[in-house]
Every structure is written in C-alpha cells, then in structure tokens.
Amino acid sequence: MSIRETILKLKEELPSGVELVAVSKFHPADAVREAYAAGQRIFAESRPQELYAKVKELAAVTGADGTPAYSDIIWHFIGHLQTNKLKLVLPYVAMVQSVDSLHLLEAIDRWGRENGRVTDVLLECHIAAEQTKQGFSGDEVKRILSGERSFPNVKFRGLMGMATFTDDEAVVRGDFGRIRDLFLAVAGRLKDFTELSVGMSEDYRIALEYGSTMVRIGTMIFGPRVY
C-alpha cells in the first residue's frame, strides 16, 4: 500500500478524537511530503539532528505562490533527548512526548524560561516488562504531577508509553492496562492533561481498546526503516 493509501485508511479507522502521529524517523523529507499530500499534519522524529535537518529542508520549500509549503506541519519529538540538544528540538516542536527524567524536565523548563516559551510535554512511563525501557514509574509520575514542585514553562499534557516488544498479546494488554489506569488516576487533577499516547504499528489496535488518544505509527505508513 502507498503512503497515501495507508494514511487514508488509518484516518478512516481511527475513532474521532484519536490523533494519528506519523513517525517519519529514518525516512527522507520526501516521504513526509507524500504523507502531507494525503492530509497528514502531525509528524514525529526521534533524533534531534534528523528532526532539525528535516524541519529546515521542508521550511525551504515554497508553493506556487512563493509562500512556505509546509508551514502547518506539527512536529512532535518522541526519542531520547539529551539536554545539550534542546536547541535543535524545542524551537521546532509542538510537543515533547518523551520526557523520561526529572533532569530533562528541569532542563526543558529552564530553556522555556530563557526563551519565553511553554513546552507541551508527555511524561514517558515505564510500562514494559523489559528493564531497558526508559521512563518514569507510576509513583514518580504522581509525584511530578502533585504540584509539590512547579514547572512554569512546561505544560503537562498526558502520558506516553511503549508496550513490551513481544508477540504475547496478554503482556501487551497488561502494559496498556497499567498505563491507562495511571492515566485515569492522575488525569482529573490537571487542566489539559488529556493525552494518552500509546500504540505503534504493531499494537495500535490493542492500544485503542485501552483509551489511546494518540497513536504513533511509522513502519505501517512509511515501510521498514533502514538503520
């Protein structure tokens, strides 16, 4: 199926209120343009330098009337973000979905104070069984959202998680069930804390059953990545 056909099929399949985030990492700007032509507007990248390069490449493209052709693309960042890379990312994204440490949260807040911007973030939760997956525990999320410390230049918009990489659907359901329960436990406390970003190419249909409001889909749209 072409990029266009997959986008159109996904848009038809996703319930209203669920955002499709097209994960374009490792694919060229031309693939983004193809998805854009099919109506897709939200894209996500996971490496600072790659995001920056794609943003700049697309910003240089003008339409027939000479105005920028892709100025309404909305970028999300979904990868591990080192604090020395903030300036490659924060000026260009509407949301950082992958805030996975207090250190990063503090750095984003500080950057916002220095640059006069409030950044929308999701807290990345450690829901998978594997030890290697980064992110906060449920208790850490509750603590951060308790308001005992304030982050005036950050707006908490919700949670992000990745299920265990496995064919065992019961394990995936367990992971999604835990993050949904955490989301429901904390969502009522904060204004605009409305997003539960779970579900990727292999498991987005299951994620929808657990209340996902944002699915992050790469391979299904753009094909396999060549690393």
Ligand X SMILES: *Cc1c(COP(=O)(O)O)cnc(C)c1O
Instruction: Note whether 78 binds ligand X by CB under 6 A.
Output: yes
**114: number of Cβ within 10 Å:** 9
- Please state the φ and ψ torsions of residue 119, each to the nearest 5 degrees: -100, 130
Strand 42-45 and strand 19-23: pairing? parallel
Q: How far is the CB of 149 from ligand X (least distance, A)?
A: 26
Distance CA 199, CA 134 (A): 17
Stretch that binds ligand X, among 88-96, 151-159, 178-186, 210-218 (CB under 6 A): 210-218
Instruction: Note whether 46 binds ligand X by CB under 6 A.
Output: yes
Say how many residues touch ligand X, by CB under 6 A.
14
Q: How far is the CB of 164 from ligand X (least distance, A)?
A: 13
Instruction: Note whether 122 binds ligand X by CB under 6 A.
Output: no
Three-state SS at 146 = coil
Q: How far is the CB of 200 from ligand X (least distance, A)?
A: 4
Q: What is the DSSP letter of 219?
A: H
Torsion from C-alpha of 8, 10, 14, 16, nearest 10 degrees: -20
Q: How far is the CB of 172 from ligand X (least distance, A)?
A: 13
Which of 42, 201, 206, 211 binds ligand X (CB under 6 A)? It is 201
Distance CA 129, CA 133 (A): 8
Which of 112, 135, 158, 218 binds ligand X (CB under 6 A)? It is 218
Residues that bind ligand X (CB under 6 A): 23, 25, 46, 78-79, 162, 200-202, 216-220
